[in-house]
Chains A and B, each alone.
Chain A
Amino acid sequence: MTLSLYDYVSIGLQAVFTAHPAFHVLGVPISMAVVMLVAGLLTGLIVGAIPALSGPFAMAVALPILISTFGFSAAALLPTLAFLLGVMKAATLGGSVPAILFNTPGTPDAYLTTFDGYPMARNGQAGKALRVAQFACVSGDTMSDMVLITTAPFLAVFVERYMGFPEKGALIILSMAFIGAAVGASAIKGLISAVFGLFLASIGRGDDQTPRLTFGIPDLANGFSVTVAVVGVLILGEVYQAIEDLAHQHRSKTSPSPVVDRGDQKLHWHERLALMPIIGRSGLIGITVGALPGIGSTLAATLGYAIQKRRHKGAVPMGQGAPEGIAATEAASAAVSGANLIPVLSLGIPGNVAAVFILIAIDTIGGLNPGPSVFTLNQHELNPELVMVIGVFVIMMLGNAINWTLGSMLMRRLGVLQHIPPRIMMPLVLVITVAAIYLQEGKMTSIYFALGFGVIGYLMRKMQMSGLPFVIAYILADDLERLLRQGFSASGADPWFLFSSPLAVAFLLASVVVAFTMSRNPIGKTIIKNADPE
């Protein structure tokens, strides 16, 4: 038996479309993965369109429920990832809806979409604005996915060929230095956040039979679970903050006047063609930003919009309802998501919040170890990991196709979600999160810990420290420590083993340079200022 790439692709297609049918329509099996993808897309559109919620929220709550539903078998991975990827893809799309219709961004990235989107809607062009947003969003997303599919395999194979214990360890240090320094208001605080994450992650884990730093609490013998720490700091911290804001906010909000459509709402092919160069440019910006860990879609959107503003030659000035403004923003922020999975799939290093949940899903379910083994084209025996990754790629492209075709139809209907009051939403999110954590962990202590991590996340927000470096460091800490300990043992206790290869030294030098320049030079300052608060 020899297996070619063609065979792998066809097996991957089968895994997505025909394996594990959920039900049959006219005798045609509809697979669980496809069902979950559609469910994820709908969920993403909805949470994106609700101003108080965002994609990561839905991913965080859904993850434990998905894992409880599908279990840990190899067959569980595709449906679970399909849902999460669907949410990730559609949330950006959904976020533009209230931005255009009501001048309230549904997600942070959509803030810049209000600049031109709402004026367009007030001029009676709401339908057209939504179509521009959809066109730009899906194009940027598709571009980004293609870059992911073509780059990740080569990067992963490079890693296998040239990297051992010290190089892999040094690479994790480099990415954490980058994330710590690049995210949030201050490089030092970002690094503190990362190091604090590393320290808390060392609780319970370790090699000794007696687990370390647990105060003798048995439920800590394996440390705080990753879900508990991540959901606590990122999601519950945000929920607490939102509840406080709601409590302080006096309900003096005036609802914006309803928009009325006037004239032609179609986006014609010549108009689409005219937008293509803008989308292409913004897409490239988004991809570049997305492939670097830590600096997320808000920066991409800002850069995309700013460059378009400088070059704008359209009939309508930017800021007064120019479709180009919407396209530049949406394409850039959408293009981040696919590229963000490049480091996830090739190195196991997540770059933004959405990628964090994708990686947790992969780690928890098992069967797919991000890294070189995923992309090995075994010719004699099927490499199930490669099939799985091809399945993931297929799902991503299928998600784009669904967004292309059905997106605009659904987007207009999402306007009603504006009326769900966040004051009811937030307490319910809290209770659902509590239930979801218990489903996965089965322990009251896990709920207590998660709520405690929420307090940490809340306080970090108050101190203007980003939770993202904390979370990413928390996820990578175990790997990092293990690689360094193993490298030390394998080298026969050479204290300088980390500096034994030029590549490792280069990574370590780069970490110092990154941390230093990010906080000093003006470009670094801009990046820091515009980087995601999350």
Chain B
Amino acid sequence: MRLVIALAAALTLLTTPAMAQWKPSGPIKMMISFSPGGTADTLARLIGEEMEARAGWKVIPETVAGKGGNVLAAKLKNEPADGTSIGLITDQIGYAVLAEKDPGFAPGDFAYLTTVAGTQTGLVAKASKGWKTLADVVKDAKGGKKLVVGALSPMYADALYLLGKHLKVNFNIVNFKGGNSVQNAILAGDIDMGFLAGVQRRGVESGTLVNIVSGERSRLKMTPDAPTLSESGFPVDLGARFLFAAPKALKPEAKQALTKLIVDIVQDPKSKAHGFITKSLGDPVVIQGADLDKLIADSFAQAKMLLSKEGAN
């Protein structure tokens, strides 16, 4: 044990000088592909604040929303690759890229630093419906009732369509913009159910809403009993991981310094960012390096499948 600590200390000593050597040449621009005030935006700003406090670098957050992250990505690609420009996107970028005819960039145009947190996506209905499992939903739908389901973005609409095919029921899919409007429609009784990426937490905890299945790779923190979509025989991952990216030509020492700083912040239980993640987003999710590259590749593979409207089973 002591040896491990000593080794770790030695490693830290070895890496620290390299860290200290890299310093941004000016203020760091942190682009955020989400509208101000939302969960992801708050998360990014908290991380930015903490980066300033810890490293003494100035971090200026900037909202660059639109087209599911494509606007940000197209802009980030042409930013200076000296570590003074980073952007917060999600690994769902694959869908946004493939759904647009000419997004103006390719996934290989970026250096992916690290993920920081993930969503808590669940298929949500009002508790008063009495649905506990997908089987309950199917039973009602087969009883001749046409189910109206809400999608918070086109990706979820595709997934719901395929889920309907998989369950052999017909959904009337209604498109919304954002989780809050889907949740409002569920509460108002305008639609029967829909995927929500975390906003449902308060409703689920107070007992007005239920998560029928988890849309993530793993089960939900707030409803551990609900099985995942994969466990239900529908291997689709509807969760999103928030991640920082930079232009491709980013120098390794800059990449390392930025990544380490961000990871330290989200994993430090005392940091505000960590507190916010555990409160609103589950637990910190840190995926880097080759694993992160694979995550992006998976995102593209799944997007291809969703957009082809076949597959899944």
Contact = CB atoms under 8 A, between A and B. Distances in A.
**Contact between chain A and chain B defined by CB under 8 Å:** yes
Interface of A: 71-73, 160, 164-165, 204, 207-211, 218, 221-222, 364-366, 369, 372-373, 380-381, 442, 482, 485-486, 489-490, 492
Contacts of A364: 36-37
B75 A218 contact: yes
Contact of B66 (A211, A366, A373, A380): A211
A486 B185 CA distance: 10
B88 to A, nearest CB: 15
B206 A366 contact: no
B101 A210 contact: yes
Contact of B172 (A71, A209, A485, A492): A492
A381 B206 CA distance: 7
Given A218-B66, A490-B190, A209 B174 contact: no
User: Which of A73, A160, A204, A490 neighbours the largest number of chain B CB atoms within 10 Å of its CB?
Assistant: A490
A416 B171 CA distance: 68
Contacts of A211: 66-67
B176 A482 contact: yes
B51 interface: no
A218 B71 contact: yes
B75 A165 contact: no
Contacts of B71: 218, 221
A485 B175 contact: yes
A369 B188 CA distance: 13
A383 to B, nearest CB: 10
Interface in B34-49: 35-38, 41-42
Contacts of B174: 486, 489-490
B67 A209 contact: yes
B176 A486 contact: yes
Contacts of B173: 489
A489 B192 CA distance: 13
Contact of A210 (B42, B75, B100): B100
The listed residue with most B CB atoms (<10 A of its CB), out of A208, A209, A211, is A209
Interface in B163-212: 172-177, 180-181, 184-185, 187-188, 190-191, 202, 206
Contacts of A373: 184, 187-188
A366 B175 contact: no
Nearest to A365: B37
Given A71-B37, A373-B184, A209 B154 contact: yes
Nearest to B208: A381
Interface of B: 35-38, 41-42, 62-63, 65-68, 70-71, 74-75, 96, 99-101, 146, 148, 154, 172-177, 180-181, 184-185, 187-188, 190-191, 202, 206
A221 B67 contact: yes
A365 B63 CA distance: 15
A490 B202 CA distance: 26
B36, B38, B146: which has the most chain A beta carbons within 10 Å?
B36
A218 B31 CA distance: 14
A493 B202 CA distance: 33
Contact of B190 (A72, A218, A486): A486
Contacts of B185: 486
Contact of B36 (A72, A164, A372, A381): A72
B149 to A, nearest CB: 10
16 contacts: A72-B37, A72-B42, A160-B188, A164-B190, A209-B70, A209-B96, A209-B100, A218-B71, A365-B37, A369-B184, A373-B187, A373-B188, A380-B206, A482-B177, A489-B174, A492-B172
Contacts of B65: 221-222
B190 A489 contact: no
A167 B156 CA distance: 27
Nearest to A206: B177
A372 B184 CA distance: 10
Contact of A221 (B38, B66, B154, B175): B66
A442 to B, nearest CB: 6
Contacts of B74: 218
Nearest to A384: B202
Nearest to B68: A209
A372 B188 contact: yes
Nearest to A72: B37
Given A210-B100, A222-B66, A442-B62, A490 B175 contact: no
Q: Which 8 A-B pairs have the closest CB atoms?
A: A72-B37, A221-B66, A209-B99, A381-B206, A489-B174, A209-B100, A486-B174, A490-B148
Contacts of A222: 35, 65-66
A380 B63 CA distance: 37
Contacts of B176: 482, 486
A475 to B, nearest CB: 16
A473 B208 CA distance: 34
A523 to B, nearest CB: 37
A180 to B, nearest CB: 26
Given A165-B190, A218-B74, A442-B63, 12 more contacts: A72-B38, A160-B188, A209-B99, A221-B65, A365-B37, A366-B37, A366-B38, A372-B188, A373-B187, A485-B175, A486-B174, A492-B172
Given A207-B154, A222-B66, A490 B184 contact: no
Contacts of A218: 66, 71, 74-75
Nearest to A204: B66
